Amino acid sequence: MVIVVSSLFKTADWKTEKHVPVIEILGKAKRGEPITIRVSVGKEIPHPNTTEHHIRWIRLIFWPEDSNFPYDIGFVEFNSHGESTQGPNTSGVYTEPIATFTFRTKKPGRLIAFSYCNIHGLWNSEKELKL
């Protein structure tokens, strides 16, 4: 079986809920200094965050200019979706699909974020990192 990567990841959101990870560079990115990146799902329109329908994880990758390989910056898993021993959506504890990553680089490049919805699969977005 051959998997076509372009069909594996979705990149266009729907009108009623958001899945595409939003990449924000916090502050001014400077060469060799810590750069903080915030990745969230549902910034404009919240994604459902229930036991039955939630964002399970976010991953951030950085691909420097003139590099053959990307770097895995980090992975965040969201584990509380309202479930408890009393059943679905009974705990009142829900993690929000927001993650912050900090790293240093001396090269500009592309930030690539991935998210996974337990119902609607894999999503991604990209943003250029200028220094």
Domain ranges of the chain: 23-129
The size of the chain, in residues, is: 131
- pTM for the predicted model, two decimal places: 0.88
| Residues ≥6 apart with Cβ < 8 Å to 14 | none
Task: Specify the residue for token string 């705990």.
Answer: 91
Indicate which residues carry an active-site annotation.
17-19, 47, 53, 117, 120
Sheet of 121-129, strands arranged across: 71-77, 55-64, 109-117, 121-129
Is residue 20 within 8 A of residue 13, CB to CB? The reply is: yes
The 10s digit of each residue's pLDDT in 82-122 is 999 999 999 999 999 999 999 999 999 999 999 999 998 99
The 10s digit of each residue's pLDDT in 58-74 is 999 999 999 999 999 99
The most distant pair of C-alpha atoms in the chain lies apart, rounded to whole Å, by 53
Helix (H, G, I), strand (E, B) or coil at 7: helix
Is residue 103 within 8 A of residue 111, CB to CB? The reply is: no
What topology does CATH give the domain 23-129? Immunoglobulin-like (2.60.40)
What are residue 7's phi and psi, to 5 degrees?
-95, -10
In sequence order, which ranges of 1-131 are alpha helices (DSSP H)?
A: 5-8
Model pLDDT, residue 8: 60
| Residues ≥6 apart with Cβ < 8 Å to 44 | 18
